[in-house]
Amino acid sequence: MKKRIDRRAARGRWVREQIHEKIVAACIELVRSGIPAPTARETADGAGVSLRAVFNHFPDLGALRREAFDRVQAQSSAFLSEEIPDHCSAARRLKLFIEKHARRLEFVAPFHRTAAMVESVDRQVAETMRKARTAAARDLERCLQPALGSFSAGEKRDLLMKLHMICSWGSWEMLRSHYRLSPDRARAIITGAALAVLADAERRPRTRQAALSDGGRRQSRRSGAGSRLRP
C-alpha cells in the first residue's frame, strides 16, 4: 500500500512540474511573439491549462514573468560558453566577444523590453536587470583580461566601463528599435565604436604604476632566462 501511495505522489509531482513548465514556456513564447506582458488568460490558453492553474503555480503574473526572464537569461549564457584563446590580441578578443554578445542581446531583447516597462516601479525586476548588467560586465572583463596586462587598475576600470556602455542592451535596443537596423548592421556599429575606444586606450601612455609593473615582469623573465643559462 505504501509503495502505491509513493508512486501516486511521485506521479502527482511529475504532473505538477509538467504544468509548471508549460506555463513558463507559454509565457516565454508569447513574449517572443510580440506580446510584452501576456495576460493570465493568454498564458493559460498558450499552455493548454485552466486559468486557475496559472495562479495555483504563481502568486501573480509578476512572479511568472520574473521566472520566464530568469529562464531566458540563464539560457543566454550559452552564447558565451566557448572560451577565446589566450594568444588573441585585445582587439581580436573584443571583436569575438561582440559577435557572441550581439546574438545574446538579440535573444534576450523581448524580455528586456518587458522588464524595462516596470523596472522603475518593481524592485524585484530592477534587481533582476541589475544582475543581468553585472553579468554582462563580468563576461566582458573575463574576455579582455588576458590582453590588458599593461593597463593599471584605474585604466582597466575606465576602459571596461566605456566598453560596457557601448555593448549594453540599451545601445543594442536603440540601434534595433529606434534606427531599425538589422542585427548585422547593429553589431557592426557597436564593433566599430568599441574597437575605436580600445585603440584610443592602447595609444595612451600607460601610468607609471602599470609601466613599472610591466617592466618588472620583463626583468623577472630576463633574470629567469639568465639563471637557466648559467652552469
59-108 pLDDT per residue, tens: 999 999 999 999 999 999 889 878 888 788 999 999 999 999 999 999 99
For residues 111-138, give the mean pLDDT: 92
**pLDDT tens digits, residue range 50-60?**
999 999 999 99
The architecture that CATH gives domain 1-58 is: Orthogonal Bundle (1.10)
H-helix segments, the chain: 2-32, 40-47, 51-57, 61-76, 90-118, 123-144, 153-166, 169-173, 183-203, 208-229
Cβ atoms of residues 102 and 187 within 8 Å: yes
Q: What value does the mean pLDDT of the chain take?
A: 88
Please give the pLDDT value at position 4. Answer: 64
Residue with cell 560586465: 137
